[in-house]
Amino acid sequence: MQKLTMKPLVAATLMALGASGAAIADDDRYIIQVDDSKKGVVKALAKKLGGDIKVDAQGFIAAKFSGKDLAEVKGLLNNPHIKLIEEDTRRYPMAMYSDDAGDPMMEQVTPYAVYQSQADQLNFDNTSNVKVCVIDSGLDDSNPDFDWSAVTGDNDSGTGNWFDHGGPHGTHVAGTIAAADNTYGVVGMAPGVPLHIIKVFNESGWGYSSDLAQAAQLCANAGANVINMSLGGGGANSTEENAFNDFINNGGLVLAAAGNDGNDVRSYPAGYESVMMIGANDADNNIASFSQYPSCSEGRGKKSTSNENICVEVTAGGVNTLSTYPAGLATLSNMTADGVSYDSSAMENMGTASAETYYMGIGDSTDAGANGKICLIDRGSISFHDKVQNCENSGGAGAVIINNEAGMLYGTLGDTNATTIPAVGAALEDRDALLAATSATVAIENGDYGYMSGTSMATPAVSGLAALVWSHFSECSGQDIRAALKATAEDAGAAGKDVYFGHGIVKALDAYNYLTTNGCSGGSDGGSGGDTGSFELTASGYKVKGSHSIDLGWSGATSTNVDIYRNGSLVATTSNDGTYTDNTGNKGGASYDYQVCEAASSTCSVTVTVSF
């Protein structure tokens, strides 16, 4: 079996929201909202005052004013035709790291998320009018695993041709949605669904909120029903939000990645109410450690309300996701021992080495016994690079570094790699078999398919699944599909809806059956991620010597005991007497999502939010 790895594509760190004061916007760029009939006047004024027009779209322009903060730009453009001026914030791809497995160059491989989400149990109806618009880094036409007759796109003077990649991210995302069902490569969630590609990321790997707003208009013009955005950043703005509001108001569905910082920060555009926020889970139905989990609450104190459309709504597989790459940009590894294939991860250095094996322990020094051999080295004590360097300095032909904890070892040899021999990582579970082998082969070569991890990978899984289901119910709106996906998601994590999984892991066949039974308007479930029945919950927050305390009251539970959940974690199991006080011990500003469930069951109340 071949396995492929890649260095991080981008550090998708989300920008925290903070006071802007007189701060200059990202790259001095600002969005100016203006009626189209007056746009010529405003553009001329902006140019006269030193503005460099970057985006010219319906209802707004974006321009760069070098060295000017927002207040200065507002002062310069004091014109009655201008509705609003706001900062044009950066948007980044949402992929954290890349690790690849399988042999898609030789046969078709089905990613685990296809099985996990039941996408293999439903066929895409190619007679439907469903089309997915992918706003990303382009879809490279060098990968043959698409129905290219069903792919269109819009070029951009700032980012180039939509069919030339700006890095593998967009090609990987598109493959998860639409890779063809053939005899090679991978298969997408909705194989062969028509795509429209908007390339918004520049060669540095980011774009702007104004680019996304214009892209939404272009998606609509191309006849797309679904927009996929595996991207995000800090800070909301009304121009961007209005563009997505318009898209869903015309019957569409918009999805975006929650973010990869593993915290409770709300990223945009996923944080807009009109956009469905997607989190990531792994192959074992666990939440991904990097998946962000913002609160569902709006406002503070007595004015605080809960809005499930501004937090994670559902999740899908986004850890080690196999998909398409631009031709030759992925790195494949292959390892055999005594003729038996084992999973491996490419670390560094192209080439093939076949030889007898030699165990070097932790490889913290040179060893003449490794001369001409494949070095088997345990992880630990020193860097991967130094282990491989010691193997090579001993005359070793190749290196295998074995993990010292469960699972595959993923890593690189660093930016200053001075080694030349092929080196791969191996799983702890294969250690005994590898050490017992007398010979081994390790090979690293370029390939067209690879793995990435991130909420970027989970988002196209849900977008593709939405297109798959929607292809059978053309009479439904995008919001009907959104509701059906939530109503039928498999509950995971804490019982009932929580901030990590939202309603749970999406399920294609269950959503199809739900719509078949209930029609577009849905049933009475409401997508709670669990049975709420007549279970009611109230919560009241107050402070005791500055510390947060919350009085909970509930009715409708029938069990002897109930479980109390705060922010998705179990904090107490208590008698079903209808009241409980949670003394958190916390001070300052905070927000808590509460849920009460019948003990050890998925029969739960709705989630209630208390903010301080």
* pLDDT tens digits for range 436-490: 999 999 999 888 988 888 999 999 999 999 999 999 999 999 999 999 999 999 9
Q: Spell out the domain ranges in the chain.
A: 29-87, 115-321+455-473, 330-446, 536-611
Q: Which CATH class is domain 115-321+455-473?
A: alpha beta
pLDDT band for 318, please (50, 70, 90 cuts). Answer: very high
Q: Cα–Cα distance between 463 and 49 in angstroms, integer? A: 43
pLDDT digits (tens, 9 = 90+) for 392-450: 999 999 999 999 988 788 888 988 899 999 999 998 999 999 999 999 999 998 889 88
Q: Cα–Cα distance between 334 and 255 in angstroms, integer? A: 36
pLDDT digits (tens, 9 = 90+) for 189-235: 999 999 999 999 876 777 888 999 999 999 999 999 999 999 998 88
Residues 6+ apart with CB under 8 A from 521: 480
* Token couple for 428: 């702890």
| 152 neighbors 195 (Cβ within 8 angstroms) | yes
Catalytic residue among 26, 117, 141, 169: 169
Q: Cα–Cα distance between 165 and 421 in angstroms, integer? A: 30
How many beta carbons lie within 10 A of that of residue 577, not counting itself? 10
- Between these two residues, 463 and 104, which has the higher pLDDT value? 463
Average pLDDT of span 128-135: 96
pTM (two decimals):
0.73
Q: Quick check: is 196 catalytic?
A: no
Average pLDDT of span 98-104: 47
| 599 neighbors 573 (Cβ within 8 angstroms) | yes
Q: Give the model's pLDDT for residue 98.
A: 34
Q: Where are the alpha helices (DSSP H) in 229-346?
A: 238-249
How many beta carbons lie within 10 A of that of residue 414, not counting itself? 14
Residue type, 579: T
Instruction: Report residue 52: phi and psi, to 5°.
Output: -110, 110
Catalytic residue among 28, 69, 88, 136: 136
Q: Give the model's pLDDT for residue 103.
A: 65
Q: Where are the alpha helices (DSSP H) in 471-598?
A: 478-487, 508-518
Nearest one of 195, 117, 190 to 152, comparing CA atoms: 195
Q: Cα–Cα distance between 485 and 514 in angstroms, integer? A: 9
Segment of 56-65, 87-96, 192-201 carrying the highest mean pLDDT: 192-201
Q: Give the model's pLDDT for residue 25.
A: 64
pLDDT band for 13, please (50, 70, 90 cuts). Answer: very low
Q: Give the model's pLDDT for residue 20.
A: 32
Residues 6+ apart with CB under 8 A from 461: 113, 117, 176, 189, 316, 317, 318, 321, 506
Q: Return the percentage of the chain with pLDDT > 70, whole number.
A: 91
Q: Give me the residues paired with residue 353 across strands.
A: 442
Q: Cα–Cα distance between 176 and 255 in angstroms, integer? A: 14
Q: In b/e form, how buried is each residue of 100-120, taking b as 16+ CB within 10 angstroms?
A: bbbbbbeebbbbbbbebbbbe
Strands (E) across 307-452 are located at 312-317, 321-324, 330-337, 340-342, 345-348, 351-359, 374-378, 398-402, 423-426, 439-447, 449-452
Residue type, 323: S
Q: Which CATH class is domain 536-611?
A: mainly beta
Q: Give the model's pLDDT for residue 138.
A: 93
Nearest one of 546, 542, 545 to 610, comparing CA atoms: 542
Q: Give the model's pLDDT for residue 102.
A: 47
Average pLDDT of span 45-69: 90
Alpha carbons within 13 angstroms on the beta-carbon side of residue 117 total 36
Q: Return the percentage of the chain with pLDDT > 90, whole number.
A: 59
Instruction: Report residue 14: phi and psi, to 5°.
Output: -85, 140
Q: In b/e form, how buried is each residue of 136-153, taking b as 16+ CB within 10 angstroms?
A: bbbbbbbbebbbeeebbb
Which CATH number is 330-446's, of 1.10.3130.10, 3.20.10.10, 3.50.50.60, 3.50.30.30? 3.50.30.30
Instruction: Report residue 233: phi and psi, to 5°.
Output: 180, 180
Q: Quick check: is 169 catalytic?
A: yes
Average pLDDT of span 570-583: 93
pLDDT digits (tens, 9 = 90+) for 250-294: 999 999 999 999 999 999 999 999 999 999 999 889 999 999 999
Q: Give me the residues paired with residue 582 across strands.
A: 550
Q: How far from 228 is each of 124, 125, 277, 480, 559, CA to CA, in Å?
A: 18, 20, 11, 17, 42
Mean of pLDDT over the chain: 87
Catalytic residue among 456, 471, 528, 611: 456
Q: Give the model's pLDDT for residue 153.
A: 96
Q: Quick check: is 164 catalytic?
A: no
| 189 neighbors 166 (Cβ within 8 angstroms) | no
Peptide bond preceding 144 in cis form (omega within 30 of 0):
no
Residue matched to tokens 């004013």: 65
Q: Does residue 21 surpass a pLDDT of 70?
A: no
Lowest mean pLDDT among 383-397, 492-506, 530-544, 597-611: 530-544
Nearest one of 154, 150, 156 to 177, comparing CA atoms: 150
